[in-house]
Amino acid sequence: MGKPHEDLPELIDIARWLEDLGRERRQAMPQTDALTKVSYGHKLWQLTRKATVVLDLFKEALRQEGLQLNHGEQGSVEIKAGDGVVCTVVIPKPGLTLKSGVDIPQLKEDLGVILFEYLFEGTVTYKPRENLKQKVAIMVGEELHASSTVQAVLEAVTVTAGTPKIYFKGD
């Protein structure tokens, strides 16, 4: 690579080719056999993986440039390219987080419960246990709880279908 921008025309050609390929494949997809879908998918996945590595280099360099231009302060900075493209670097407000591995019970003991609760807030998330269906069935079968309790549990959960994942092997 000699000049900084000499490979830009090639990248533009690749982007146009991908756009054309997308239009063509979108129309032909219903008639496309599985073998062809896998072959195209695999090559595009490889291209994406390799492009992401290169893109990450540019993004990190632009983050550093944005920080430098904004003197490390929060806010946003626009970096303009000669072709009219604008990159916006958003520098977030610094925030406090707990360090990984902090012994919360020990910290609570050291500070005392009142001061600890004044300085820190706890967040709790809930999710249905893996065997929730079986437990509800037992509750119903053994009549351990009122039907309103069972109904409250059933109304609190929903079945969500997972998104199928696609993986390729080979290189």
User: How far is 67 from 40, CA to CA, in rounded Å?
Assistant: 39
Mapped onto helix, strand or coil, the DSSP state of residue 109 is helix
Residue 46: pLDDT above 90? yes
- The pLDDT assigned to 3 comes to 64
Residue 83: pLDDT above 90? no
- The pLDDT assigned to 15 comes to 87
Residue 126 or residue 60, greater confidence: 60
What is the pLDDT averaged over residues 164-169?
A: 65
- The pLDDT assigned to 1 comes to 45
The pLDDT confidence band at residue 39, using thresholds 50, 70 and 90, is: very high
Tell me what percent of the residues of the chain surpass a pLDDT of 70: 91
- The pLDDT assigned to 166 comes to 57
Kindly report the length of the chain.
Answer: 171
In sequence order, the 6+-apart residues with CB closer than 8 A to the CB of 149 are 139
Residue 4: pLDDT above 80? no
Q: What does the mean pLDDT of the chain come to?
A: 85
Residue 78, phi then psi, degrees to nearest 5: -105, 130
Residue 84: pLDDT above 60? yes
User: How far is 45 from 168, CA to CA, in rounded Å?
Assistant: 8
- The pLDDT assigned to 80 comes to 87
What is the pLDDT averaged over residues 41-50?
A: 93
Residue 57: pLDDT above 50? yes
The pLDDT confidence band at residue 126, using thresholds 50, 70 and 90, is: confident
In sequence order, the 6+-apart residues with CB closer than 8 A to the CB of 153 are 132, 136, 139
